[in-house]
Amino acid sequence: MTIDSRVDGESTRLLSVRDLRKVFPAPRGTKGAEVLAVDGVSFDLEADECLAIVGESGSGKTTVARMIVGLETVTSGTVEVLGQDRTAAPKHLRERRARAREVQYVFQDPYSSLNGRQRIGEVVLNNVRLHADRAISRKELENRGKEILDSVGLPWSFADRFPRELSGGQRQRVAIARALAAEPKVIVLDEAVAALDVSIQAQILNLLADIKAERKVSYLFISHDLAVVHQISDRMIVMENGVVVDAGDTSALLAHPTHPYTRTLRAAVPGPGWRPSRRATLEA
């Protein structure tokens, strides 16, 4: 299924994925077959938009995201970011950094994605320094760090702490702050709230909504959780076995799922407060 959303040549398109395919070799030492993880996936991400990629475990969501940011090679198909071909993995450090300024990645587990020996201030300031287009003074750097931590709801006093001293939700705020420090156009959030308690999830979703409104950043939001996707995304695509089987406006698709797989996913969403016909409140 090809999803050509708003294909009208407008310059608001940040990300464009066409016919993306990924074949992994058979696991080493086995006589097993190659794994076709992603098969002909196409979609666009527009400015100011949150597009969700939904699907059960193993449907290929993460592999799509990893190909977009160059963490995984592309078997065939194309990836364009801001009109530039980004299909090939970055070859040099400079290219890797340039691409990181376009798209940042926030992982599910901030504990393993944060360096345990690095204080929170360093985590954020290193990324500011790395992606700054000019030399910046210590004072300016610190002001920027304060502003970024503040934007994720953390006081500057957290700068001296280590990740192990933070709660799961606070660590995820730091991971988001680190992404923001690069001033990216797009943030890929890969199951970014999956490891958090429901009340903390709601706070982080709130925060993401605020950041999106204030900074005009777009999200590619990967999740298996339709309740979460309903809260945060404008549009969604549904993946099954590496293929996009359904796509559309999130509220409309969840209110009236037409594809059998989307209906199955929808039916698995648990109980109280789940109202597909109404935009869920973001209040924690």
| Window 40-59: residues binding ligand ATP (CB under 6 A) | 55, 57-59
Measured distance CA(70)–CA(60) in Å, rounded: 15
Smallest distance from ligand ATP to CB 259, Å: 17
Q: What is the DSSP letter of 230?
A: H
| Window 188-227: residues binding ligand ATP (CB under 6 A) | 224
Q: Give the CA distances from residue 141 to residues 123, 124, 129, 159, 231, in Å, rounded to whole numbers and listed in that order.
A: 12, 10, 8, 13, 34
Smallest distance from ligand ATP to CB 61, Å: 4
Identity (one letter) of the amino acid at 41?
A: V
Smallest distance from ligand ATP to CB 141, Å: 36
Smallest distance from ligand ATP to CB 241, Å: 8
Q: Is 61 in the site for ligand ATP (CB under 6 A)?
A: yes
Measured distance CA(218)–CA(47) in Å, rounded: 6
Q: Is 62 in the site for ligand ATP (CB under 6 A)?
A: yes
Cβ distance to ligand ATP smaller for residue 188 or 204: 188
Q: Give the CA distances from residue 66 to residues 44, 72, 102, 205, 213, in Å, rounded to whole numbers and listed in that order.
A: 16, 5, 14, 22, 25
Please state the φ and ψ torsions of residue 150, each to the nearest 5 degrees: -60, -40
Q: End-to-end CA distance of the chain: give it in Å, rounded.
A: 36
Under 8 Å between Cβ of 49 and 186: no
Cβ distance to ligand ATP smaller for residue 33 or 267: 33
Q: Binding pattern to ligand ATP, positions 5-44, x when CB under 6 A?
A: -------------------x----------x-x-------
Smallest distance from ligand ATP to CB 236, Å: 14
Q: Is 90 in the site for ligand ATP (CB under 6 A)?
A: no
Smallest distance from ligand ATP to CB 79, Å: 15
Size of the site for ligand ATP (CB under 6 A): 12
Chain residues in the site for ligand ATP (CB under 6 A): 24, 35, 37, 55, 57-63, 224
